[in-house]
Structure 1
């Protein structure tokens, strides 16, 4: 009953917001459709602007020259405009659907003067260059031409995103594997992007009404409809897939300083510093347009830089507004797997003679090579309609949160047919049905199961799945050869109750390890579905390296078995846990936890108190902790895998805080202490100079505790380069009760390599990092001062191997090359100090697999 009331409440909010926020639909409307063609060649003209003067209503013709426009009955004129063609105005009959086909005549523009100065082009200069003078005017006026110039703005926004396998050969289609899938293949014109044969795989549509208030700044988005080709949730996270695609194909604001595409940022041709990196040329003057336009061509000064090329059409009416922008990239720039990238932005004139973005189209053709082989083709079209400015809304309207999109996913076919600005073409219309049909074919489901096992490591058996596969076999100095087998239940077993378990055996220590957990979902959703709300109880008996807390991989992963140097200091852990996790839709979450932990030393690790000549070995260390974790990740997006969420990193910071307290005597706990840890991480986009990932972290432990209960800093003795560890620090080398750290990892995206002959063709990218760690121990926690605490570790020669940080910070830096074969990064790492510690390396070579665009 409560759930039903909540649903009714959300529906009521939706309807209320629709009534408040969406422009009223006139009882009488005029629907016009038609095709726009070239008057001379009879070719169909795409991207022609079709607008209603004075109404702020318009659309653009599609790739086949077709259009559909619904206008209020009080307007009877429609204007057709396109760059290079004369403007045509047509009168329509009010209140009646009608077909209106239009022919546009080209306009000829005479050049005032042509100067020939020999075969060698003059050197490009910004000084006294009329094209640069013009672009500076556009940059100077860009704030007044953005929607944020108005006090209030609102509009309908329609988004359509589709993906297909492209340029497929007849041989590919004829393969035995595809004999049951011929209904998926589509034929199209050979000149179309993607080639003759394509295989549509994905389609997503969204309709929203968006509001903007300038002061105090506030944005609000009300979802009106969401439609997505849905794959089986057992194999694919549909929400994560949508987030990932939307991250790749973000909105393009040509007036912004930087434009984000494919996880990279490219400097806009209208950025404040753009004349430093771009060349501009006036290539045409279109005086027959209203208002007259200047065609401004642009391109990077260095063809291999991560910049755009294309054309801007600028109005000569004093606004210096962009009426149309065509953006593409040179194939030589340092982007991976990109055959072609083309974007077109269309702007429509407002009644106040300023312009707003009315349509944007972005098409990217992906492929392993830059030739015409098979690939992956994606398109995103965004249409802005019902544009209204300076219509205030009450403060209460902005304070009321918008309902989630979950309430709009069941819109009828009639709703979409009426609300789409442009109807779906035949290829797009078939996607929804084909994806549903595809998942009923047994061979397709078997293929998905195989890929899930290879990529995620799990094999499903209905209500239970076995894995992860990369932990089945591993080895380490304490356990020797280790075998493990485990699994967990799936939503087919229960949507609320989940169990997970594994058992492992070490053939050297001849000990069994195991894990048992049960999780109960409190929001009737999978515990792997955002937002999480669950309680979990677990017990684990296993080995662990002190100080290691891996985020996206398990410690007994086979690949992490290979380690350098001395690696014999391990723990046997018995951990009882009770955790409550609650996430909110604004990506704030908190965790309440109870942890009873027994640590027993193994291998070369020992717990020992007293002076060196009169010491006592401790068999186990017992603590009982209460924990509170806080996390806020504004506008976070991620893909939910079988084990972990894979973050889709954006420009917003992520804040985390953890508070821990232990009370002596509570369930045999041996120490009282409190710990606070704060962390913030952020990615900085600095086009064209690359991307920097910065992490700041600090912690403080109150009270007295032995070094295993303090902060043992994250070391790395594998041969991989780890972003959040110290790659030349040894395990258990440093322990602190207070510390502050800074991690900076900068990827220059080929900014320097792109300018070097020969090397630039390899599309390598420069990387550099710096890691600093300040910290120390108060006298009450220093075993050299307090002999009753656990002694720092020593090697067999009696040399200390665990230390407190001194006055100088621990520091290491690295330089390297990434994008080797498009998936490998290699760093030369240098440890800058504390080189007198035993068994440390001053230099190291570390590698990392990373697939980037």
Structure 2
């Protein structure tokens, strides 16, 4: 701030420039001292304005010098207020009701009619012409794109400055500034810049973005952080019916369904540039829905948007985000086509939505320039590279950035580079960074070795009793070409030591050819999933949960060795081949039996020895990953389709292997965003085993005897309640994201989210496989072949923002031994 004062004095006394800036904030009331939400505030003789929030408060600023503001709202007399100084905070504005509307309750509440409303007439013209504007009007297009991402600490006060957490880092507070959107003080802490060339083909429905340069402050070459931030602020089109932010679908004010959730008011008309435009104000009809408030200017001939502002209301059912503000600007090409030139996005992340709560601003500024059209590219041009990383892109010199930036960095942004370079040398910052890393990854970092994951240190099951586990992995950088992982565990009831060790190496970056090998000796719940592979690093959560319902003694001791190769010939499409050898035997012979008749001698054996070769195909359309080492991190976890096909062949008489068989498995998962109605998650699993195999090699329908919600399991099935050699399972779950609860007055403020689910499985078990079982166990359990076994559930999520509870109901097979007809599971998680 001291530089601002010095600059002002210099300009004032030099008479070379006139410094002009106006800031104003306040509270709008009616004559009864009640707050007036969504009132319109503008600087007189300008198009710069804002809208009061749900509490009637506002903040507004301009780089120009303004002498008065105008305050208006439906049903009230418009009020013009003179400003006596450039900065006027905490104004109190009282609006008087119009005489003609004193008795009209609907108007007083701000509701607007859907009929005979000129604003909605204009909205319909926008719908009719929205496909005729922007790059969609051309066959092909390309343009330059400059993107700037920034994070700032906000609400800086003396309590924060003097906090112990910043001991040794007080120097960072020497220069703070004020947000032009909220009026809060803030301190920049992270900055990333990116220059790209974007190519699109509307005929081929293809889009490709080529990164030309990337630069970030304090975290050089950190593609993971950059990728997560960019996914957080993914691109959007305001003309779409729904805009997706933070895994939530917000109804666009330009949506065809907008008239059901927004009020629209035709407020003004004026020239913007040389185009005559109408100004329309919009605000939500109801609280707690995923909607915006704001205004937009629309041209009167093309019905294209010239400027638009969107701000999420504080009552919106979204966690950890207190404010979200968007503004976009468009320019005219050839006197008729409007193309976006600027997109500004700001969010305020905070633990709660109280006015004075501290948080972190996340800002994204995107500028577009140098549009060119109808320059055709071959379809191969749009194919994504498996490994597009180029180190030079992340190490551009200053001259590149001076020429490439579409706007200069301001003084705060220039300061970030120097600030974070300095912070990295401060011990206090290093300690803070290490704590954050542990919470984010579950590992404690040492020099080249990570200890963890800490979250799996303690477990419990019937066989082992309490179980302690300690492990780690090699870790020099996020892009290591090789990695070794291992763990050791001890059960205090069975007094046995278990372990697992594996290693993998990235042979070729371009094709992502990876070889891996390992060995694991442990106790496992085989019936925890249907579609599985011989992964030496994996372990079933079902066999080590702290609390379980019913008996969980049917555990298996496994000794698994595997060698695999995997290649990615096209992005998100992988081919893998795995050779494995495993031995399976009961973890406790007195509690569970895997006895079978040897197919060659007829004698009874209790230990299965099996060699197997498996070939797998996996495809993840829409998956976003970061990193170019042997391990990559998925950026948009759960937000893309998954298809997996596995073909396994059991080899007999190799290393004393017992059985010859073939197994075919297919898995398909698909999330569906259904606009304002939430998200539907669906999955399908089918499989069949050809040949005769014993219990230990059959497909067990996955039950869940824990109180934790485990994906693709049946919460009311006990382990080994159904065993199959042929199966088909479907899981469907819909999250309404609070759409129903938001319309119930007593529940509205809790921001709860309703979920419903249904799941079913059908399966068969052949007489030949039953005959192989020497324990008689398969005579007492069966497969769901008479009718499809099914369950349904209802759930409530977002309890205290972190907890979800589900209530499950059994649909049939009530006569099964120890059948549970009702159950409850829960889970913790941080979700927007």
TM-score bin, normalised by smaller chain: 0.7 to 0.9
Structure 1 counterpart of 2:297: 313
Matches of 2:324 and 2:193, distance apart in 1: 21
Structure 1 counterpart of 2:419: 434
Structure 2 counterpart of 1:593: 578
- What secondary structure does 1:726 align onto? coil
1:421-469 alpha-carbon deviations (Å, 9 max, x no partner): 1111222222233333322223333333344345533333323333222
Structure 2 counterpart of 1:277: 261
Q: Is the 8 A contact 1:586 1:635 kept in 2?
A: no
Structure 2 counterpart of 1:182: 170
Matches within 5 A, 1:481-520: 481-491=466-476, 495-520=480-505
- What secondary structure does 1:762 align onto? coil
Instruction: State the 1:350 CA deviation.
Output: 0.7
Q: Is the 8 A contact 2:729 2:761 kept in 1?
A: yes
> In 2 relative to 1, CA 84–361 (structure 1 residues): closer, same or farther, beyond 3 Å?
closer
Name the count of aligned residue pairs: 745
Matches of 2:776 and 2:340, distance apart in 1: 65
Matched, 1:207 2:195: yes
Name which of structure 1's ranges 578-587 and 814-823 shifts more when overlaid on structure 2. 578-587
Instruction: Give the alignment partner of residue 369 of structure 2, picking from 385, 404, 423.
Output: 385
Matches of 1:686 and 1:365, distance apart in 2: 26
Instruction: State the 1:475 CA deviation.
Output: 2.5
Structure 2 counterpart of 1:539: 519
- What secondary structure does 2:471 align onto? strand
Instruction: State the 1:331 CA deviation.
Output: 0.8
> In 2 relative to 1, CA 229–407 (structure 1 residues): closer, same or farther, beyond 3 Å?
same
Instruction: State the 1:596 CA deviation.
Output: 0.2
Structure 1 counterpart of 2:547: 562
Instruction: State the 1:590 CA deviation.
Output: 2.3
> In 2 relative to 1, CA 586–280 (structure 1 residues): closer, same or farther, beyond 3 Å?
same
> In 2 relative to 1, CA 657–202 (structure 1 residues): closer, same or farther, beyond 3 Å?
farther
Q: Is the 8 A contact 1:186 1:427 kept in 2?
A: no
Matches within 5 A, 1:127-276: 127-185=115-173, 187-190=175-178, 192=180, 197-231=185-219, 238-276=222-260
Name which of structure 1's ranges 637-646 and 474-483 shifts more when overlaid on structure 2. 637-646
> In 2 relative to 1, CA 810–136 (structure 1 residues): closer, same or farther, beyond 3 Å?
same
Instruction: State the 1:406 CA deviation.
Output: 4.2
TM-score (norm: length of structure 1): 0.80
Instruction: State the 1:749 CA deviation.
Output: 0.9
Matches within 5 A, 1:402-421: 404=389, 406-421=391-406
Structure 2 counterpart of 1:731: 719
1:470-517 alpha-carbon deviations (Å, 9 max, x no partner): 333332211223333332323389955433322223232232222232
Structure 2 counterpart of 1:354: 337
Instruction: State the 1:212 CA deviation.
Output: 1.3
Matched, 1:803 2:787: no
- What secondary structure does 2:817 align onto? coil
Matched, 1:332 2:307: no
Q: Is the 8 A contact 2:543 2:555 kept in 1?
A: no
- What secondary structure does 1:215 align onto? coil
1:351-382 alpha-carbon deviations (Å, 9 max, x no partner): 15110111110111121122212111110011
- What secondary structure does 2:528 align onto? coil
> In 2 relative to 1, CA 496–762 (structure 1 residues): closer, same or farther, beyond 3 Å?
closer
Matches of 1:245 and 1:531, distance apart in 2: 27
Q: Is the 8 A contact 2:611 2:650 kept in 1?
A: yes
> In 2 relative to 1, CA 571–362 (structure 1 residues): closer, same or farther, beyond 3 Å?
same
> In 2 relative to 1, CA 228–164 (structure 1 residues): closer, same or farther, beyond 3 Å?
same
Matches of 2:340 and 2:548, distance apart in 1: 55
Structure 1 counterpart of 2:736: 748
- What secondary structure does 2:683 align onto? strand
Structure 2 counterpart of 1:837: 816
Structure 2 counterpart of 1:93: none
Structure 2 counterpart of 1:630: 617
TM-score (norm: length of structure 2): 0.82
Matches of 1:329 and 1:498, distance apart in 2: 44
Structure 2 counterpart of 1:28: none
1:675-701 alpha-carbon deviations (Å, 9 max, x no partner): 122222121111211111111222122
Matches within 5 A, 1:783-794: 783=770, 787-789=771-773, 793=777
- What secondary structure does 1:667 align onto? coil
Instruction: State the 1:303 CA deviation.
Output: 2.5
Structure 2 counterpart of 1:25: none
Instruction: Give unmatched runs, 5+ long, in structure 1.
Output: 1-33, 47-64, 66-80, 86-100, 525-529
Instruction: State the 1:792 CA deviation.
Output: 5.5
Instruction: State the 1:220 CA deviation.
Output: 2.4
Matches of 2:828 and 2:626, distance apart in 1: 19
Instruction: Give unmatched runs, 5+ long, in structure 2.
Output: 1-10, 12-16, 25-42, 50-62, 79-97
Instruction: Give the alignment partner of residue 750 of structure 2, picking from 762, 767, 771.
Output: 762
Instruction: State the 1:610 CA deviation.
Output: 6.7
Matches of 2:18 and 2:116, distance apart in 1: 39
Q: Is the 8 A contact 1:606 1:617 kept in 2?
A: no
Over the aligned positions, Cα root-mean-square deviation in angstroms equals: 3.7
Q: Is the 8 A contact 1:464 1:489 kept in 2?
A: yes
Q: Is the 8 A contact 1:282 1:297 kept in 2?
A: yes
> In 2 relative to 1, CA 200–669 (structure 1 residues): closer, same or farther, beyond 3 Å?
same
Matches of 1:83 and 1:448, distance apart in 2: 44
Q: Is the 8 A contact 1:185 1:197 kept in 2?
A: no
Structure 2 counterpart of 1:62: none
- What secondary structure does 2:171 align onto? helix
Instruction: Give the alignment partner of residue 447 of structure 2, picking from 435, 441, 462.
Output: 462
Matches of 1:645 and 1:792, distance apart in 2: 46
Structure 1 counterpart of 2:100: 116
